[in-house]
Amino acid sequence: MYSVELYNRVRRACHVEGMSEREAARLFGIDRKTVSKILKHSVPPGYRRKAPPHRPKLDPFVPVIDQILEEDRGKLKKQRHTAKRIHARLRDEHGFTGGITIVTDYVREKKRRTREVFVPLSHAPGHAQVDFGETLGVIAGVECKLHYFAMALPHSDAFFIKTYPAETTEAFCDGHNAAFAFFGGVPLSILYDNTTIAVAKILGDGVRLRTRVFSELQSHYLFDDKFGRPGKGNDKGNVEGVIGYGRRNFLVPAPRFDSFDALNAWLEERCLTRQGDILRGHAETVGDRLMRDLDALMALPPTPYDACDKVSTRATSISMVRYHNNDYSVPVAYAHHEVQVRGYVHEVVIGCGTEVIARHRRSYDKADMVLDAIHYLPLLEQKVGALDQAAPLQGWDLPDEFATLRRLLEARMGKKGKREYVQVLRLLETFELIHVQGAIRQALDLGAIGYDAVKHLVLCRIEKRPPRLDLDIYPYLPRAQVGTTNPASYMSLMSGAPA
């Protein structure tokens, strides 16, 4: 290829100085056809192929390569053919004798020609996109995976992020509640991927069957739903970008917080701070453009959606209810009963009929047993022999006064002392620990060792009245005055004389 300098000299000689093409060819030592080409172009036009390259070894195998690449489009990205693997299959299965280079060149060019091209989009105010991302963090000193919910408003590029221990139905619903409260309204429509939390099934014509929980959420807030094509994350590219932006800018390095609440409060501050940024291609801040989004949002309903996962099940013979592979206790009176479980992000609430019978912290471990010792006290009162081996009482951190009371009761009353100790523990079903602990301490100081005395002292503490205990006879039976037998009395009975 000739230089631009030569083009300049030849074109000037012919167009300005009036030199003929023949003379220019002789002067510059180039062909006359080259001079004609230079006069048509101000700069070298580059090499132009007039026909596709002829590849006698590869051309008979091109249909095979095209078929392999077409089949790969429906496979997992990590399970698709590389150019090296295609060359090996052509050699072993079809007798190809060419080298790997021509196969690699063809595959690279074929993939480039079939790569998807996207259309720039413009977003009207009042519409949103939702997705989940994940990263690692440290909560309360324990490294764990953080699943973060993101809602983006593409018109203004404002977004909201909140983290959860797991990507669950209740986290999905709670994320909507929190995002709507953050923005102060409900978007006109929300675009999702085809998450199983929202979509139960995709029919042949592309119609989505919504899950019960998602239908309830949508009915509560009345937003319109939209779904992207399966496997096409670019359909909701704005929130996909938010997922990456949030991870790079908010969650690197790995966040360290005492609780999820503390982390989420910090993330909300970061979302608010970003609203002061001016993004590339815009003259207004994110917050200024957000005002148009907020004007288009629908009003919030009077109360937020009850963000929980609802399951009906049955309590077992050991008074446990299984929910998401973990067991939670219920009072023994409800063993073998049908119950309803409502799983929230940080709490599990169990009900029977219209009554709430148990509340527990939510566990995200596997095969965990979450026990409330109070649930088993009525049964232990009947089966006091199991008191020392009762799993619900293991690890129950009670004040030292309880252990002292038990030791004294068992020393004085034996097995009956165990039962009376369980009766004292059952006071915790009704009264707060601080009142029962104070009553036990007072009973120990007074030497009134027994259930009745502790209960009396608890009531006195709550009603703020002085105790009335006969400390000389408690807790034993009243002393009876019995006279000494006189033999003369028997003689008077035999004689019939008055004694």
* Beta-strand relationship, 369-370 and 309-314: unpaired
Give residue 477's pLDDT.
38
d(CA 132, CA 153): 15
- What SS3 class is residue 147? strand
Say if CB 453 and CB 469 are below 8 A apart: yes
Given a cut of 70, the residues of the chain with pLDDT beneath it are: 233-234, 469-485, 488-499
User: Residue-wise over 133-165: b if at least 16 C-beta within 10 A, else e?
Assistant: bebebbbeeeeeebbbbbbbbbbbbbbbbbbbb
Q: What is the DSSP letter of 228?
A: P
Specify the pLDDT at position 49.
Answer: 72
In the 8-state DSSP scheme, what is residue 311? E
What tokens were used for 323?
């929910």
Give dist(CA 158, CA 129) in Å, integer.
11
pLDDT at res. 473: 47
Q: Which domains does the chain have, with CATH numbers?
A: 4-40 (no CATH), 59-114 (no CATH), 127-296 (3.30.420.10), 309-370 (no CATH), 377-463 (no CATH)
**At residue 469, what is the residue type?**
L
pLDDT of residue 135: 95
Pairing between β-strand 320-323 and β-strand 224-227 as defined by DSSP bridges: unpaired
CB 270 within 8 A of CB 250: yes
> Tens digit of pLDDT for each residue in 335-381?
999 999 999 999 999 999 889 999 999 999 989 999 999 999 999 99
pLDDT of residue 476: 43
E strands within 72-140?
A: 127-139
Copy the structure tokens of residue 278.
């001016």
